[in-house]
Amino acid sequence: MAFLTLSIFILSGLLLTTADPTVAHPGNAVEACASINKSLGSPIVQTSSGPEYNFTVNNAWNVQNTLFKPACIVFPRQASHVQTAMKAIFKAKVHYAVQAGSHTGMKGWNNVQDGILIMFSHMQSLSYDAPSHSVTFEPGIHWGNATAALSQFGVAVVGGRVGDVGTGLLLGGGISFLSPSQGYAADNFLSLDVVLVDGTLVTATASNKYSDLFKVLKGGANRFGIVTKYTVRAVDVGTANETPFFGGHIIYNSSYAATLSKATAKYTRETTDSKAALLFTITTTLINGVAQQVCVLFLFYHGTALPQSIFGDFLTVPAITKELSPLSWTQILPAQDPPDFVSSNRGFVQHFSASAVVPQDNLVLDALSHFQNFSSTFLHNGTQSGMNTTSFVLTPILTTQIAAGHAKGGNVMVSPSLKGPYLNVQRSEQFDAGITDIPQFVQDGMNLYIKQVPPSPGLPLFINECDKGQNVYKTYGEFELLKSTYKKYDPTRFNMLFTEGPIGL
Ligand SMILES: Cc1cc2nc3c(=O)[nH]c(=O)nc-3n(C[C@H](O)[C@H](O)[C@H](O)COP(=O)(O)OP(=O)(O)OC[C@H]3O[C@@H](n4cnc5c(N)ncnc54)[C@H](O)[C@@H]3O)c2cc1C
Ligand SMILES: *[C@@H]1O[C@H](CO)[C@@H](O)[C@H](O)[C@H]1NC(C)=O
Ligand SMILES: *[C@@H]1O[C@H](CO)[C@@H](O)[C@H](O)[C@H]1NC(C)=O
Ligand SMILES: *[C@@H]1O[C@H](CO)[C@@H](O)[C@H](O)[C@H]1NC(C)=O
Ligand SMILES: *[C@@H]1O[C@H](CO)[C@@H](O)[C@H](O)[C@H]1NC(C)=O
Ligand SMILES: *[C@@H]1O[C@H](CO)[C@@H](O)[C@H](O)[C@H]1NC(C)=O
Ligand SMILES: *[C@@H]1O[C@H](CO)[C@@H](O)[C@H](O)[C@H]1NC(C)=O
Ligand SMILES: *[C@@H]1O[C@H](CO)[C@@H](O)[C@H](O)[C@H]1NC(C)=O
């Protein structure tokens, strides 16, 4: 799975230690840490001399997020510990960050300089409730481990497509290989325990007094509070011994990039069978100073073979290698990512940007040509860009996915009137080992590309794959609801002022 050789980052401005002009006096984080420690003690609260502090700081996926040194890290064991921490953070007006699976690409979104980091690595419990066909889990679990724990029951949750990624994915909407039949990952929420900025703990469901909060958490990312428990629908996928899926991946020569991009657009337009799932990537890597490009297609069908009527256009293009076979769900989303799966690798600067287009050939080819220009400009040794890898990733958002989301109550991303289909177009980059910042001229090139490949009107950008400078919320179908609900739950705008995350609220 060489896909999502993802990356990220953005404007290094707006540093967390810099007081926002609208904030009179940001408080003293060291004092706030001491006050939290008075209630919780060690090892729940750790400063840099603590046994888990270094590992935690160094473990963020984007190396840029390993460079921030928080005043202390709070490792909650239960929701009340998060409440204690947030009460102190809120009272003292201290900058803070939250980390679950550590995989955000965005610089500053999961760590904080001289502030307080709340890290969920000690909250990983998960349980399946057969009568309600639902799964309850804590934020620290990663998708691979969730898959492994659930396989004995023949069920899965709609999470991510990579085992090492974590639950922050859900709050950004989330796309799974089960999404064509189940909707965005967040569409499958049943109940969420949320610690609001002032430390109040509430349980939000579709029908209780927090139903507005419940809806905006389906795509609202980290702005509405800290989720301490998720209960979501279970999906029947078989046990580890059963192979109800068929598929795998195909690698093609890059000379077919345009042909396969068009085939992906057509697939997106025409596929109405929610048992089909697909992800198309074009990756360019600088090897010994020479840019080498390949296309990798991931394709799955919940059935015994790949139907020609759905996948024929892809199966007839000559392949370099084809690995297709019957698969269990645990093979599609293993507990441990394969060692050659570079996208789980830590230690590099990573960067993403997002677009979403209606699946017309001309729009997809246009995006591809801008990607190729971007890659060929920066991905050669001469530019000293430090960039090592670029990827162009197309995810079909089928009409069946949108319909499943509407049927489950809707989310904040997709307008109630939007039927789809559309294509998420992600660009991602990885930089050489040793690089810790993106040169301005490269960010300028990224910004030009973002202008050149705008979202089609009415389509939501995907927050999990965006550039920090993109105003994703503004593209949401329920932007007004997002704004009014934010005002209601965080009237002093504490979250916007004291933690990094999506702009525009
Ligand atoms: C290799 C790779 C593969 C990916 N594949 C997919 C994919 O298949 N589908 C998809 O949708 N996305 C995918 N993504 C994007 C991914 O969804 C986002 O990076 C997501 O934010 C990661 O969540 P995390 O918990 O791992 O990361 P973290 O960095 O720990 O968290 C991400 C963000 O969510 C916030 N957050 C986390 N937990 C909470 C909480 N409980 N309450 C409040 N805020 C919280 C954090 O503060 C941070 O801002 C992928 C990313 C990578 C790097
Ligand atoms: C936290 O309190 C414990 C006592 O419970 C103490 O040993 C430790 O040094 C304190 N840590 C910090 C970071 O203040
Ligand atoms: C943590 O890492 C820093 C360097 O980043 C090092 O100086 C320090 O000794 C380490 N501390 C522990 C407890 O490992
Ligand atoms: C997955 O579970 C194993 C076994 O419990 C544990 O050792 C590992 O740390 C977990 N992985 C992550 C990423 O938390
Ligand atoms: C792709 O095809 C071209 C010829 O069209 C060939 O020169 C090149 O080596 C091929 N690349 C790979 C990776 O097979
Ligand atoms: C890249 O360029 C630098 C400086 O021009 C040079 O030192 C280095 O050897 C080059 N690397 C490769 C792999 O060509
Ligand atoms: C560039 O990326 C490749 C693939 O991730 C990696 O093997 C290689 O070491 C990287 N090169 C440098 C100079 O970091
Ligand atoms: C290609 O990218 C470079 C670098 O961003 C930019 O200067 C140039 O205008 C782009 N060309 C086209 C045709 O978009």
Any ligand 1 atom below 6 A from CB of 359: no
Residues in contact with 158: Cβ distance below 8 Å, sequence separation at least 6, in sequence order: 174, 176, 178, 179, 182, 183, 184, 185, 187, 188, 232, 233, 235
Q: How far is the CA of 380 from the centre of ligand 5 (A)?
A: 19
Q: How far is CA 497 from CA 434, 463, 481, in A?
A: 31, 19, 20
Question: For 342-393, how does the pLDDT look when each residue is reduced to its tens digit (9 = 90+)?
Answer: 567 899 999 999 999 999 999 999 999 999 999 999 997 778 999 999 999 9
Average pLDDT, stretch 306-329? 98
- Kindly state if the Cβ of 159 falls inside 6 Å of ligand 1: no
- Ligand nearest to the backbone CA of 45: 2
- What value does the mean pLDDT take over residues 240-250? 97
80 Cα: distance to centroid of ligand 5 (angstroms): 58
Residue 8 has pLDDT above 70, yes or no: no
Containing 445, the helix (H) or strand (E) segment is helix 440-452
Q: Which domains are assigned to the chain?
A: 2-119 (3.30.43.10), 126-239+480-498 (3.30.465.10), 245-472 (3.40.462.20)
Q: For atom 10 of ligand 7, which residue has the closest CA?
A: 432
For a pocket test of ligand 1, which of 3, 103, 157, 213 has the largest count of ligand atoms closer than 8 A to its C-beta? 103
pLDDT of residue 27: 73
Measured in Å, residue 374 CA sits from the centre of ligand 8 at 7
Where are the alpha helices (H) located in 41-175, listed in sequence order? 53-58, 79-92, 143-150, 168-171
- Please name the residue whose Cα sits nearest to atom 9 of ligand 2: 42
d(CA 344, CA 196): 31
Q: Which residues have any ligand 2 atom within 6 Å of their CB? A: 33-34, 37, 41-42, 45, 47, 72
C-beta atoms surrounding 315 within 10 Å: 16
Q: What is the mean pLDDT of residues 241-268?
A: 98
Beta bridge partners of 280: 297, 394
Residue with the smallest CA separation from ligand 8 atom 7 is 445
Is the pLDDT confidence value at 59 over 90? yes
If you write DSSP's letter for every residue of 14-35 in order, what string do you get?
A: S-TTSPPTT-S----HHHHHHH
Cβ of 226 closer than 6 Å to ligand 1, yes or no, is: yes
Q: 334: number of CA atoms within 13 Å, CB side?
A: 10
For helices 79-92 and 29-40, give the axis angle rounded to 10 degrees.
Answer: 150
Q: Residue 11's pLDDT is what? A: 23
Sign of the Cα pseudo-torsion (499, 216, 88, 52, in order): negative
Pocket test for ligand 7, best of 293, 388, 435 (most atoms within 8 A of CB): 388
10-49 tens-digit pLDDT:
222 223 334 444 444 567 999 999 999 999 999 999 999 9
The token duo for 10 is: 């953005």
Q: Is the pTM of this model over 0.75?
A: yes
- Residue closest by Cα to atom 1 of ligand 8: 373
- Residue 163 in contact with ligand 8 by CB distance below 6 A: no
| Confidence band for 276, pLDDT divided at 50, 70 and 90 | very high
Query: In percent, how much of the chain has pLDDT > 70?
Result: 94
Q: Which ligand is nearest to the CA of 255?
A: 5
Ligand nearest to the CA of 377: 8
Non-local CB neighbours of 46 within 8 Å, separated by 6+ positions: 52, 53, 72, 73, 75
Pocket-forming residues, ligand 7, beta carbon under 6 Å: 285, 342, 388-389, 432-433
Ligand in closest contact with the CA of 499: 1
How far, in Å, CA of 87 to CA of 104, rounded?
Answer: 25
Give me the percent of the chain exceeding a pLDDT of 90: 90
Q: What residues line ligand 6, using a CB cutoff of 6 Å? A: 288-289, 381
Q: Which atom of ligand 4 is nearest to the CA of 145?
A: 1
Distance 467 CA to ligand 1 centre (A): 14
100-141: pLDDT as tens digits: 999 999 999 999 999 999 999 999 999 999 999 999 999 999
pLDDT digits (tens, 9 = 90+) for 401-437: 999 999 999 999 999 999 999 999 999 999 999 999 9
CB of 147 shorter than 6 A to ligand 4: no
